[in-house]
Amino acid sequence: MDARMSARATGSVDVVVIGAGQSGLAMSHFLSKRAIEHVVFERGDVANSWRTERWDSLRMLTPNWQMSLPGHAYSGSNPDSFMTMPEVTEFISAYARATNAPIASGTEVTSVSPIDGGYLVVTPDYRWIARAVVLASGAFNVPRIPAASSALPDDIHQLSAHDYSGPETLPDGGVLVVGGSATGVQLADEIYASGRPVTLAVGEHVRMPRTYRGHDIQYWMHVTGLLDERYDAVDDIVRARNVASPQLIGSDDARTLDLNSLTREGVRVNGRLASVRGRNVMFSGSLRNVCKLADLKLGRLLDAIDEWIDTNGAAEAGHPSRRYEPTRVGDTHRLAVDLHRDDIRTVVWATGFRPDYSWLDVPVVDRKGNLVHDGGVVSAPGLYVLGLPFMRRRKSSFLHGAEDDARELSEHLTAYLDGCAQPAYFRLAI
Amino acid sequence: MNTHEDSIDNGVNVEALLGARAALTQAPQAAAFVWRASSEWVRGTHTRSKVEKFFGLGEEQSRGKSFDFDTDHPEIFASEDNGATPVEFVLVALAGCIGAGIATVAQNRGIQLNSVKAVLEAPMDLQGILGIDGDVRNGFDHITVRYEIDADATEAEIAAIVAQSQKRSAVFDIVTNPTDVNVEVRKV
C-alpha cells in the first residue's frame, strides 16, 4: 500500500460526487435510482455557490416555471417570477432533503489523483478510494481578471463580481464596470441607480429582450429546441462554450436590460477595456462592431423564433413579430479615460469566471486550463464532469439543464462500472 | 460541404485555412509569426520601404520576391508626392485586411461575392502633427469605412460577414487597440 494512504482513515466507495449543487444532486438522484453506492462531498452547505458567491440583489435569469431538477418541479404560485438567491438555495436544499442524498457537507476535497482502477479522493479527515469521480463543483468558481488589473493605481478600489455584494459597499464616486455579460449589465444598472456615475466597458456580448411575442425569451429558447441543442451539433463548440451570458435580468416587471436601456439611464458605454497605464484606461474602438455583431445575432434569434411560430401556427393575437432598435452607439463613447480626472474610484471586474481544478491531480486539463472532455466524459476513465457551459447542451450550465446531462452521464458511468473489473484492494481497503 | 457551397468561388481556399487552423491549434508555437518591413529615407519626406521575408510556422519564410512602397506627402505640403502618405497606407491596410476577411468568411459561409467595394475616410486635424494645439491628437479623429457589396445573400447575411471580418481582422485590431511600440536608434 502507498505510504501516503496510512496517514488518514481510508474508505472506499463506488462513486464520489464533488459538489452538492444542482448538478451533483441530480447525479446523486440517478445513481440512487440505479442503486450505485456514492457519496456527495460538499465543501460548504448544499447549494454553496448560490448561497455564498452571488451578489445580494441577483435573481435567476430563468423564470420559475423553468426551475426543475429530476422529479422536482417548481410548484409555487408565481411561475413567471424569478427566484432570489435565498429562494434558489431553498429550492435546491428542499431537493436534497426530498431525495435524501448522501451528502457529506463541510467536507472539502483537497485532492483527486489516479490510482490503479480508480481515484484517491482526499478530504481533511479521510482518504477515499473511488472507482469513479463526478466533478460537479461548478463552472464559475474563480473570477477571470485581466492582467491589466495589476496596472491600476493603488488608490483605485478593485473587486470582482464574486466579491461584490451591493452598491452600498462601494466607495463613493464613479465606478468602471468591465464586462458586458448579464453580470456586467446588471451591476452597471444597480450601481448607477445608487447614485454613482458608471462607465461600462463592453466587448462581444449577447443581446436579448426579456420577453418576445407574449412570452419570456427562455420560453422561446426552450420550445424552439435551442436550449436542447447538442454540443456535437454546433459548428464551433469552443466558441459556443465561451459565449458570454446573455444580457438579461430577472425582475418583477420582466424588464429588458440592454445597452440602449443603460445608455438611456445615463450609464456611459465604452468599448472593451484595451489597456491600463496607471490612471489612464483605454477602450477599444471596436464598440460599433461588437454592437453590430450582437444586433445581427439577436436578429437571427428572432428570425428563428418567428419561423418556429409560423411553422407551428403558434401566433397569438396582439403579439406580432417585431424588431428592436439597433444598439445606439453615438459619438459620446470614449477611447481613453483618466480615472483621477473622471473621479472613478472603483473598478468592478465582471469579466467572467472559470472552474477551479487546482485540487485535481489528474492530467486532464489543457494548456488553457480547460478540462478535456467529450460531453462531460473526461479524458481519464471513470472521471466525469457536470454543469459546464454548453457541456452537452446549450442548457448544460442552467439549473434545469442538470437533469438531462446527469441522466446520460449516469448511464455512461454505470456502464463503465459494470465493464470494469474490481481490483482486490477495493475490498481490502477499509 | 453541400453542393451549393461547392459551387461558389470567391477564390479563397477555405479548406486549407481550416486545415491550418486545426494544425495550429495542436501546435500553437507554429502560430507565432513575425512580420517585417525595412525602409530607407530617400529625400525630403520621401521614404521607400520594402517587404520581403517574414517568420512563421517555426522558420524564416521567403516569398522569393519583394514589394516596394514609396511614402511621401502631396505637393500642398511642399513635398514631391512620390507616393501615398503613411496615413493613407493605414487606410489601405485596413481595407486590405477587412476585404480579405470578407472573401474568406463569405466562402466559408457558402456565399458568392460578385463585387465588394469600399470607400474609406479618416478625418484628421493637422493642428496635432503641426504642434499647434496640444489637445489635438496626431492621428485620425476616427475612420469611416463604407462598403457596397453585391453578393448572393440577404442584407443581414452580408452585414454579418462584414462584422465577422472586422472581428477577425488584424489591422482592425491594430487600429482600434493600443499597441506597445519600441523604436530603437543606433548611430552608424
* Mutation site, B177, B179, B181, interface A, largest A CB count within 10 A: B177
Q: Which chain B residues have a beta carbon less than 8 Å from that of A300? A: 156, 160
- What's the pLDDT at A8? 66
Q: Do A293 and B164 lie within an 8 Å CB cutoff? A: yes
Q: State the pairing for strand pair B38-43/B46-56.
A: antiparallel
- For residue B157, what is the nearest residue in chain A, using CA coordinates? A296
Query: ∠A40-A43-A48 over CA atoms, to 5°?
Result: 95
Cell numbers linked to A345: 474610484
Q: CATH assignment of B85-177, given 3.40.50.720, 2.60.200.30, 3.30.300.20, 1.20.1250.20?
A: 3.30.300.20
* Entry pTM: 0.92
- Give the rounded distance of the alpha carbon of A395 from its chain centre: 10
Q: Do A289 and B167 lie within an 8 Å CB cutoff? A: yes
pLDDT band for A2, please (50, 70, 90 cuts).
very low
What domains sit in chain A, N to C, each tagged with a CATH number?
A: 3-141+355-428 (3.50.50.60), 145-349 (3.50.50.60)
For residue A122, the number of C-alpha atoms closer than 13 Å in the C-beta half-sphere is 15
B43-100 pLDDT tens trace:
999 999 999 999 999 999 999 999 999 999 999 999 999 999 999 999 999 999 999 9
Which of A376, A392, A6, A344 has its CA nearest to residue A155? A344
B156 part of contact set with chain A, CB < 8 Å: yes
If phi > 0 it is left, if psi is from -120 to 50 it is alpha, else beta; for residue A160 that is beta
- pLDDT at residue B5 tops 60: no
pLDDT band for A9, please (50, 70, 90 cuts).
confident
- For residue A366, what is the nearest residue in chain B, using CA coordinates? B26
Q: Which chain B residues have a beta carbon less than 8 Å from that of A299? A: 156
A47-75 pLDDT tens trace:
999 999 999 999 999 999 999 999 999 99
Nearest CB neighbour to A285, from listed B28, B163, B175: B175
Q: Are A245 and A61 in contact (CB under 8 A)?
A: yes
Q: What mean pLDDT do residues A322-340 have?
A: 93
- Nearest-CA distance B7 → chain A (Å): 21
Complex ipTM more than 0.85, yes or no: yes
- What's the pLDDT at B27? 87
Percent of chain B with pLDDT over 70: 97
How many beta-carbon pairs below 8 A join chains A and B?
40
B98 part of contact set with chain A, CB < 8 Å: no
* Mutation site, A286, A302, A327, A367, interface B, largest B CB count within 10 A: A286
Domain chopping of chain B, boundaries? 85-177
Q: Which chain A residues have a beta carbon less than 8 Å from that of B173? A: 286
Nearest CB neighbour to A274, from listed B163, B167, B178: B178
Q: Which chain A residues have a beta carbon less than 8 Å from that of B178? A: 274-275, 282
